Amino acid sequence: MEISRENKIKIEKTADLLKKSRSILFITGAGISADSGLPTYRGIGGLYNNKNTEEGIPIEIALAGETLSSRPELTWKYLGQIEERCRKAKFNRAHEVIAEMEKSFPRVWVLTQNIDGFHQAAGSRNVIDIHGNMYDLYCTACSWRIQLKDYSEIEIPPRCPECGKIARPDVVFFGEMLPYDKTQLLYRELSKGFDLYVTVGTTSVFPYIAKPVYDAKNSGKPCIEINPAQTSVSELADIKLTLTAAQALAAIWSAYKSDE
């Protein structure tokens, strides 16, 4: 996609805002992983957009906490399909740029809805993966935990090697509560405020994802939105870039560094 003159002007303005910033919050959704080849299915992975599963139920039901408890083999079936799609992909330039910015600015945090682990794999350390990471598994019956490279290391559904119970990934399924420790970390960092807020590839339909944008507006801090589509927070953004995540962030970072 060629960058329009309008977007080029906005990229320069964003680069100027970066130069005035010491702290940045990135809020990311499925759109940032789209350039890695993962379709954007409301933050999950895009395999089931607008259609039911083979069992004739919506994917939201298959990936619900209640289904994991009552029919774990069904939930794990679709988790396995999602993970296989992620396994064939890797982080892209958008993830890399954010990781590079973390090393270049005093304080950079990422709030992500994605469970693919791409931010961490690209080098980001200050990541609040509010919906968890599909590669962190644990047993609900005992203290066993493991971090996997991918699901080729396990049988599906996986069983705890210590007690034999079916394990689960450390992710937030539909109908489950957000993890207390991560929400507390998020609120702690939000309470400090940021000089710049950047929302990338998310529709911001969840209140805790939209909250930072409202915080920016209320505190008079600039907010950038990177998303080809219109979203629930587009009207609140000071600058709206209708580009893909990788294209926009690469161009912004290049413009910033060219003036150093």
HEC profile for the chain? Answer: CCCCHHHHHHHHHHHHHHHCCCEEEEEECHHHHHHHCCCCCCCCCCCCCCCCCCCCCCHHHHCEHHHHHHCHHHHHHHHHHHHHHHHCCCCCHHHHHHHHHHHHCCEEEEEECCCCCHHHHHCCCCEEECCEEEEEEECCCCCCEEECCCHHHCCCCCECCCCCCECEEEECCECCCCCHHHHHHHHHHHHHCCCEEEEECCCCCCHHHHHHHHHHHHHCCCEEEECCCCCCCHHHCCEEECCCHHHHHHHHHHHHHHCC
95 annotated active-site: no
Catalytic residue among 10, 93, 131, 221: 131
Q: Which residues are catalytic?
A: 131
